[in-house]
Amino acid sequence: MTTYYTNGASTTVSAFMDGSDAAEFHAIIKSTAAGETFATQLATVMTAYNALRERLGKDVVPVFKRYFLSDAANQQPQLPREEECAVSIVEQSPLDGTKIALWVYFQEGVGVSNLYNGLYSVTHGSYTHFWQGSACTPDVRSEVATRALLCDYALRLEDEGCTIADNCVRTWFFVHDVDVNYAGVVKGRNEMFMTNNLTSETHFIASTGIGGRHADPRVTVEMDTYAVKGIEPGQMSYLYAPEYLNPTYEYGVAFERGTYVDYGDRRHVFISGTASINNRGEVVHKGDVKAQTKRMWENVGALLDEAECGWHDVCHMIVYLRDIADYAAVNAMFEERFPGVPRVIVLAPVCRPEWLIEMECMAVRRVSGNGYASF
């Protein structure tokens, strides 16, 4: 983990390098120019991004980006036109008092192509990875929008010889007015999954469903996705940590707590949005954000442990808070326990009002001898 400082921005980077030509890097770039205009803060972030690109070298390219904005309607038109990889843009205000933060996932030695159907392909070795950012359908209720987005995504994957059930690894749903619209997301997803062999008897997909706004006020739901082509049956596994969490279907929703994908040289771990919940599906420590943070860490730690990973394997973290007033306390806790880990804390209400905080993360560790092709 390394942090670089440029004029008006900070860049924190994690690296996975195993000696192959497929190193991976996760970067969180934050403006440090609080109080300046969005144009000024954007310029500092892009300068830091370009400096990082130069530092990493020409063989390392972005495969996915997410911009966290404080006012998407006014700020999204000012963002640079992006065509080098899939891009997600969501209004989830960085809670450090600035207007913009950027998560970038870089990989070495890959080929990235715009498929012009909403997906970007990332190819290396025996695998093709598909990323999608900010898919949306304006002017419809959240239930209809979710069902339409997933059905459209299924068709896009089918065009590439994939299915949601066999190849989709991770989804993100950003829900405008989540307290009102999340129930529709759940219903639309449940119905679509049922018709695609995603059930409590098979498996679901790692996911985050969280508050977030699109620049277009007519959009109730936007969706990001990640899938992999070329994996074999059994190469993707699911995480449960039953001593700490219960299966999500027990309280009517359809996602996995976490997923990992094994390659011949590494294991990718995707931890879903995780809050302070117990194995009966109950909110733990209502009204106490510090206690909720500690229980959330216990839950995430248990999921990582089940994937034979530790906190030292985590590449980046995204932390969601419901209440701006909780930022100082939560940030201090993360600074103390996870210094130097790429991290951003944003304003984004969780799907139940009693949950004051949620987090997600990705991790990677070396593996070998499993018979799978290397990443």
Three-class DSSP labels, 306-334: HCCCCHHHEEEEEEEECCHHHHHHHHHHH
In this model, does residue 172 exceed pLDDT 90? yes
Per-residue pLDDT band at 95 (split at 50, 70, 90): very high
What is the rounded distance in angstroms from the CA atom of residue 147 to the CA atom of residue 155? 12
If you classify domain 112-230 with CATH, what class do you get?
alpha beta
pLDDT at 20: 74
pLDDT band, residue 193 (cuts 50/70/90): very high
Please tell me the CATH code under which domain 269-375 is placed.
3.30.1330.40
Instruction: Give the pLDDT of residue 74.
Output: 98
pLDDT at residue 19 is higher than 90: no
- 255 and 209 in contact (C-beta within 8 Å)? yes
Per-residue pLDDT, 293: 99
Taking residues 134-142, what's their average pLDDT? 94
From the candidate CATH numbers 1.10.490.10, 3.30.1180.20, 3.30.1330.40, 3.40.50.300, the one assigned to the domain spanning 1-109: 3.30.1330.40
Give the global pTM: 0.97
Residue 304: other Cβ atoms inside 10 A: 24
**Residue ranges of the domains in the chain?**
1-109, 112-230, 269-375
Question: Which amino acid is located at 100 in the chain?
Answer: I
Local structure of residue 280 (DSSP, 8 states): T
| Confidence band, pLDDT 50/70/90 cuts, at residue 162 | very high
Q: Which pLDDT does position 139 carry in this prediction?
A: 87
DSSP string, 66-123: EEEES-HHHHGGGSPP--SSEEEEEE--BTTS-SEEEEEEEEES-EEEE-SSS-EEEE
Helix axes 178-194, 142-159, angle to 10 degrees: 40
- Which one has a higher pLDDT value, 4 or 337? 337
The pLDDT value given to residue 21:
73
**How confident is the model over 242-273, as pLDDT tens digits?**
999 999 999 989 999 999 999 999 999 999 99
Q: What is the pLDDT of residue 8?
A: 92
Which residues have C-beta within 8 Å of that of residue 58, sequence separation ≥ 6? none
Mean pLDDT to the nearest integer, 341-361:
98
Average pLDDT score over residue span 46-75: 98
DSSP at 216: S
Same topology between domain 1-109 and domain 112-230: yes
227 DSSP β-pair partners = 130, 168
Segment 106-120 mean pLDDT: 96
Question: Percent of the chain, pLDDT > 90?
Answer: 95
Position 323 scores a pLDDT of 98
How buried is residue 111: exposed, middle or buried, by Cβ count under 10 Å (0-12/13-18/19+)?
exposed
Q: At 292, is the secondary structure helix, strand, or coil?
A: helix
In the predicted model, is pLDDT for residue 18 greater than 90?
A: no
Short-list 71, 127, 140, CA closest to 262: 127
